[in-house]
Structure 1
Amino acid sequence: MKRLLPKINDLVYIQVASEIEKEEKIEYKSRISEMEEDSFLIEVPIPVDGGGMKKLYMGDELSVYFLTDEGVKNYFNTYVLGFVSDNIKLVRIRKPDPESITRIQRRNFLRVTADLEVAVKTPNNIRFVARTEDIGGGGFSFYCEPQYSLLEGDILHCWVLLPYKNGSIEHVPIEAEIVRTKKLETGRSLVMMKFESISDMERQKLIRYCFERQFDFRNR
C-alpha cells in the first residue's frame, strides 16, 4: 500500500512531547501552508478545544496525524526545525519518510535512557559536570547535586558528550530550559529540560545517537 504525505491546505492534528503528562495530552490543530524538499511549513497550532496559539520551540517533538479522503487517521512523528515570518508566522517541521507513516499512533518519542556526561553553565555562570538519565531530540534529564540551586524556567547552557558505536565522540552544545525538578531520596534532584536553542545539525547528531541506542535495546 502506497502511503501518501499530507498536502498543502490539509489540516493536521498535533500533540507535543512534554515532561508534563497533562500538556502531552492536549491536541492542537494546524494547516499545512507550504511544502519544501525536506520539510512542511505549518500554521502556528491552536488547541482543538479552543484557546490561544501554542508556542513551539526549536526541537519540540510532535506526534501528528492527518485524515485521508476516506477519513482514516495517518500518524507520523516529527520535530520543529525552525520558524518563518512572512505575512504570518509559520513553523517548519521535518517532513516524514512516507514509509514511517502508520495508522497507529506511536507515542514513544525519541527519548532513550542514557548515562552521558553533560557540562552545565547556569545563568549565574556557575559551571559543573553532571550525568544524564535520558536524552532525546527535544530534551533530556540529568542528576543535579544538592549544592547547585536550579529553578524551573532557568535557561542553562549545556554541552553533551555523545559516544557513537564507531568510536567517534561529539560535543553537542545546547541551550535548554528547566521544565521541572524532582527531589530524590539521595538528596540529589532530577532536572528535566527541554531544548530552547539547538542547530539542526547538532540535533541530527543527537537523533543518530538515540537511534543507535534504540537499536541496541531492541537487539538485547
Structure 2
Amino acid sequence: MDIGTMITLETVQDNDEDVQVFSSKVVDFKGTNIYIHYPISNKTGRTSIVFEGTSFSFKYVGKDDIIYSFQTEVIARKKLNNIPVLVLHFPGDDQVMKIQRRRFLRIKTPLDISVRNEGIEIFPPFTTSSVDISGGGLAIFVPKNIRFPDNSMLSVWIVLPFKSTEYQYVHVTARVIRRIKKQDTPDIVSLEFEKISNKDRDKIIRFCFQKQLEQKKVTNQGLE
C-alpha cells in the first residue's frame, strides 16, 4: 500500500442492513499509523465526520490486482500539512487478508444491463439481463445476432436494486471470457471486470451479500 492509494472503509452498526461504505485516500504511512483524508460517504457523496474509536473494515486493491483487507479503528483526528486527516491503526502484515477474485461470492440474479462498444464499434448497443454476478465479473444473455470475439472489451452499465429501494448504477469495462451457445435461448457470455473503481466493486460485493441473505431467508421460510 502506497501513499495515494484509494481505499474503502466499511462500518457495521446494529445489523447487516446498516453497513456504511466510505471512500478515501492514503496520504501518509508511519509505523503503525495510516493517515487518510476524511472519508466520503458512498451514499451521500459528502465528507463524513468520524470519531475516535470508530471501527472499520479497511480494503484496498494492491498492484497485483488483489483486494487486501484488515480491521482497523480511528485513533486520532489531526492536521497534516494543514490538511485534516484521520489516523488509523495498522494491525500488522499478519492481520491483512487477501481476497482474490476467484473467491468473490457469486449470486444468480437478473439485473438490468446495458452494453456498448469499448473503442472500435463492432456491434450495436443493446440492453439485456444478467445470469449471475460477483465482485470479479458477471454472465449476461446476448442475442445471437450480436457478435464479438473472446477478449473483446465491452463498456457495461449495471443497475443494482438494493433492498432499501435505492438504485445504484455501476459502470465497468469488462473482458469477454467465453460464449456459451444455446439452441433455443440467447447465448450466455461470461465477462471479467477489467476496469472498475474500488467504490463500484464494493457496491457489487455488498449487493451480492444482501441478495444471499434474502435468498437464505426465503429458503428458511420454505422449510418452516
Runs of 4+ in 1 over 3 A off after TM superposition: 96-99
Q: Give the drift of 1:95.
A: 1.5
Counterparts in 2 of 1:2-21, with a 5 A limit?
none
Residue 126 of structure 1: CA displacement? 2.4
> Which deviates further from its counterpart, 200-209 or 183-192?
183-192
Q: Deviations over 1:157-204 (max 9, x none)?
A: 000000000000011000000101000122521000000000000111
Q: 1:219 to 1:204 in 2, by over 3 A?
A: same
Contact 1:80 1:91 in 2 (8 A): no
TM-score (norm 2): 0.54
Contact in 2 for aligned 1:151/1:178 (Cα 8 Å): yes
Alignment of 1:84-123 (within 5 A): 93-96=67-70, 109-123=104-118
Task: Report the 3-state secondary structure (helix = DSSP H, G, I; strand = E; otherwise coil) of the residue aligned with 1:219.
Answer: helix
* In structure 2, C-alpha distance between the alignment counterparts of 1:133 and 1:144, rounded to whole Å: 11
CA distance in 2, matches of 1:138, 1:188: 23
The residue that corresponds to 2:171 in the other structure is 173
Deviations 1:30-62 (A, max 9, x none): xxxxx996xxxxxxxxxxxxxxxxxxxxxxxxx
The residue number in structure 2 matching 1:210 is 208
Q: Against the structure 1 CA distance between its residues 92 and 143, is the aligned structure 2 distance closer, same or farther, given a 3 Å change threshold?
A: closer
User: Does the 8 A contact of 2:116 with 2:125 survive in 1?
Assistant: yes
**One-letter amino acid of the structure 2 residue matched with residue 93 of structure 1:** I
Aligned twin of 1:16: none
What letter corresponds to residue 81 of structure 1 in structure 2? V
- Aligned-partner Cα distance in 1 for 2:33–2:208: 26
Tell which structure's C-alpha radius of gyration is larger. 2
Deviations 1:96-134 (A, max 9, x none): 5599x8xxxxx8631100100110002416211010000
RMSD: 3.1
Quote the residue 2:61 is aligned against. 81
Structure 1 stretches of 5 or more lacking a match?
A: 1-34, 38-78, 84-89, 102-106
Q: Secondary structure at the match of 1:172?
A: strand
Residue of structure 1 equivalent to 2:156? 158
How far did residue 92 of structure 1 move? 5.4
What is the aligned partner in structure 2 of residue 183 from structure 1? Answer: 181
Name the aligned partner's letter for residue 148 of structure 2.
Answer: L
**Is contact 1:141-1:190 (8 Å) kept?**
yes
1:142 to 132, 137, 140: 140
Among 180, 192, 195, the residue aligned to 1:194 = 192
In the alignment, structure 2 segments of 5+ residues that lack a partner are: 1-31, 35-58, 72-93, 219-224
Deviation at 1:146?
1.0
Amino acid at match of 1:114: T
Aligned residues: 136
